[in-house]
Amino acid sequence: MSAVTLTKDATTMVGRSLRLITRDVDSMITAVVLPVMILVLFTYVFGGAMSVGTAYITYVTPGVILLCAGFGAGNTALSVEHDMSSGMVERFRSMPVAAWTVLTGHVVASLAKTLVTTAIVFGLALLMGFRPTASLLDWLAAVGVILLFVHWVTWLATLVGVLVRSPDAAGGFSFFVMFLPYVSSAFVPVETMPSWMRGFAEHQPVTPVIETVRGLLVGGTPGAPTGDALADAALAAVVWCVALSVVFATAAGLAFRVRR
């Protein structure tokens, strides 16, 4: 298969997934309402009781962004499962096209959706008192790290979507992804957790991502790394995200080939 037709097929599939995702009214409402609810909940309900050394909104915004991005990415499992079981993939496979590009389509659409969700959370957070100290470059870097994070979560969701045999199982996965940020520095500093959990929280892939985004956006505030600490977190975040992306994309591709 030539690179030209491959690109063509991938472009068609991306167009398809973007259309499907924007017309999925339920999931679009969730994508918009969820961030709003979570942000309001954490800031006004839990926020008063949290002492993190700064306004809680400043501390929690990066975490809420990852939570919502992760949730949106988790939904990819549902789209992929649907394609696998509805006969769509069978049809693509019976045509002279690179059928696996259907997965690429979903991943790209998920990244696009993340940008929208992220913009909503940022906008709302600014209204609620989030005061970033970031330069334009910091902003771009932060969005880049968020996309990298969403990239691996989406490939994992894709893998799950290829493997599971029911929409319920696929739905369960997006729930699981939503919980990952809770056991990280997203909502409370890891120092406040019991030591066994802290070990996990410090070394799970979400934490360096959160730390990096926090350092880039509100560097210098309590709990946000700067200088070497930020550089370390950024390196860890990038390494984690790239490695997991490669692993899960490869696994998803292989599973797609084998799964009949």
Partner 1 sequence: MSAIVTAEGLRKSFGRRARSVPVLDGLDLTLDEGQVLALLGPNGAGKTTAVRILTTLLTPDAGRATVAGFDVAREPRRVREVISLTGQQAAVDDRLTGAENLAMMGALAHLPRRMVRARVAELLTAFELEEAAGRQAGTYSGGMRRRLDLAAGLLVRPRVMFLDEPTTGLDPRSRLALWEVIRGVVADGTSLFLTTQYLEEADRLADRVALVDGGRVVADGTPAALKARIGEAGIELTLATVPDAGLVATALGVAPDGTHLRVPTDGSVAHVSAVLRAVEGTGVTVESWVVRAPTLDDVFLTLTGHAAARPTRPEEVAA
Contact residues: partner 1, CB under 8 A: 5, 8-9, 12, 15-16, 19-20, 23-24, 86-88, 90-97, 260
In the complex with partner 1, the residue whose CB is nearer, 82 or 198, is: 82
User: Minimum CB separation from partner 1 for residue 108, in Å?
Assistant: 15
In the complex with partner 1, the residue whose CB is nearer, 88 or 183, is: 88
In the complex with partner 1, the residue whose CB is nearer, 96 or 194, is: 96
User: Minimum CB separation from partner 1 for residue 161, in Å?
Assistant: 16
In the complex with partner 1, the residue whose CB is nearer, 91 or 203, is: 91
Residue whose structure tokens are 């049809």? 91
User: Minimum CB separation from partner 1 for residue 104, in Å?
Assistant: 14
In the complex with partner 1, the residue whose CB is nearer, 12 or 204, is: 12
User: Minimum CB separation from partner 1 for residue 87, in Å?
Assistant: 4
- What are the backbone dihedrals phi and psi of residue 202, each rounded to the nearest 5 degrees, phi first? -75, -25
In the complex with partner 1, the residue whose CB is nearer, 9 or 211, is: 9
The angle formed by the CA atoms of residues 50, 172 and 213, to the nearest 5 degrees, is 40
User: Minimum CB separation from partner 1 for residue 106, in Å?
Assistant: 13
Q: What is the token pair recorded at 138? A: 């910091």
User: Minimum CB separation from partner 1 for residue 16, in Å?
Assistant: 6
The residue count for the chain: 260
Tell me the one-letter amino acid at 185: S
User: Minimum CB separation from partner 1 for residue 78, in Å?
Assistant: 13
Residue 220, sorted as left (phi over 0), alpha (psi -120 to 50) or beta, turns out to be: left
Distance separating the N- and C-terminal Cα atoms of the chain: 21
**Measured between alpha carbons, how far is 35 from 41 in angstroms, rounded to an integer?**
10
In the complex with partner 1, the residue whose CB is nearer, 12 or 54, is: 12
How is 167-214 classified by DSSP, letter by letter?
HHHHHHHHHHHHHGGGGTTTTS-GGGS-HHHHHHHHHSTHHHHHHHHH
How is 92-151 classified by DSSP, letter by letter?
HHTTTS-TTHHHHHHHHHHHHHHHHHHHHHHHHHHHTT------HHHHHHHHHHHHHHHH
